[in-house]
């Protein structure tokens, strides 16, 4: 977060450090003010820097926003892939890991959720969204569909893998949206419970309201 205002920050920092700092400030500003009122001056002030620096490091506002979205997409991808890797080979455990991943406290913060929502809401940024997230989204979809397919087969459940996978995915997205738009007090636990209820409906012998059945 901002160590702004009263800081004797080292004047010169590595390019990457400054860029990361500005991107983080962009996420915060998107969350706090929304896409429409996110100005370079506001981003710079949140980072405790002057607005000229934004153009120095990113050339244009568009590139700043583009790289912000790229960062969000990349950290999202790394997160679920890490969870998946730790889950082993069992499809039920893999699915449980994927569901947990999206509620990891590093990913599922108010600021990041709001920032995502800002990008979704901005029609202008939809081609940008496709460019930055299309490949990742496709990989995620293929992955969760594959896992659901295995689990359906293993548990002799009925259902179309692609549709079950899509329900799980959009339920997560819908819960995310809920966490942003509804009045405060929607905890990560409640979000997880909702998605686990959904998983339990499709895979009652593998999931319950509390999550994966051991």
Partner DNA sequence: AGATTTTGACTGGTCTGTCAATCAAAAACG
Partner DNA sequence: CGTTTTTGATTGACAGACCAGTCAAAATCT
128 makes contact with a second copy (CB under 8 A): no
The one of a second copy, DNA, none whose footprint includes residue 12, by CB under 5 to 8 A per kind, is DNA
Please check whether residue 96 is in contact with residue 136, taking contact to mean a CB–CB distance below 8 angstroms: no
What CA–CA distance (Å, rounded) separates 32 from 22?
15
Footprint on residues 20-39 left by DNA (CB under 7 A): 37-39
The tokens of 57 are what? 């490091």
Footprint on residues 149-208 left by a second copy (CB under 8 A): 159-160, 163-164, 166-167, 169-175, 177-178, 180-183, 193-194, 197-198, 201-202
The one of DNA, a second copy, none whose footprint includes residue 5, by CB under 5 to 8 A per kind, is none
171 makes contact with DNA (CB under 7 A): no
What CA–CA distance (Å, rounded) separates 21 from 49?
10
Phi, psi of 208 (to 5 degrees): -130, 180
Give me the least distance between CB of 24 and a second copy, in Å please: 17
DSSP string, 167-191: HHHHHHHHHHHHHHHS-S---HHHH
Q: Give the x/- contact pattern for DNA in 40-79, rule: CB under 7 A.
A: xx-------xxxxx-xxx-xxxx-----------------
What CA–CA distance (Å, rounded) separates 35 from 156?
46
Question: By CB under 7 A, how many residues form the interface with DNA?
Answer: 23
The one of DNA, a second copy, none whose footprint includes residue 56, by CB under 5 to 8 A per kind, is DNA
Phi, psi of 105 (to 5 degrees): -60, -20
The one of a second copy, DNA, none whose footprint includes residue 26, by CB under 5 to 8 A per kind, is none
């Amino acid at each position: 977060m901002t160590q702004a205002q009263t800081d004797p920050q080292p004047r010169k920092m590595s390019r990457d450090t400054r860029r990361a700092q500005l991107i983080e400030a962009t996420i915060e500003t998107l969350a706090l003010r929304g896409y429409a009122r996110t100005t370079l001056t506001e981003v710079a002030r949140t980072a405790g820097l002057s607005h000229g620096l934004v153009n120095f490091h990113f050339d244009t506002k568009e590139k700043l926003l583009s790289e912000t979205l790229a960062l969000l997409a990349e950290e999202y991808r790394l997160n679920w892939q890490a969870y998946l890797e730790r889950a082993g080979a069992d499809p039920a455990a893999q699915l449980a890991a994927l569901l947990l991943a999206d509620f990891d406290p590093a990913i599922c913060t108010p600021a990041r959720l709001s920032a995502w929502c800002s990008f979704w809401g901005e029609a202008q940024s939809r081609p940008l969204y496709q460019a930055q997230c299309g490949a990742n989204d496709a990989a995620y979809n293929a992955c969760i569909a594959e896992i659901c397919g295995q689990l359906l087969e293993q548990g002799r459940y009925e259902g179309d893998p692609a549709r079950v996978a899509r329900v799980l995915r959009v339920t997560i997205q819908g819960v995310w949206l809920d966490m942003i738009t509804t009045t405060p007090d929607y905890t990560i636990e409640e979000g997880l419970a909702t998605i686990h209820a959904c998983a339990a409906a499709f895979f009652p012998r593998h999931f319950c309201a509390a999550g994966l059945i051991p």
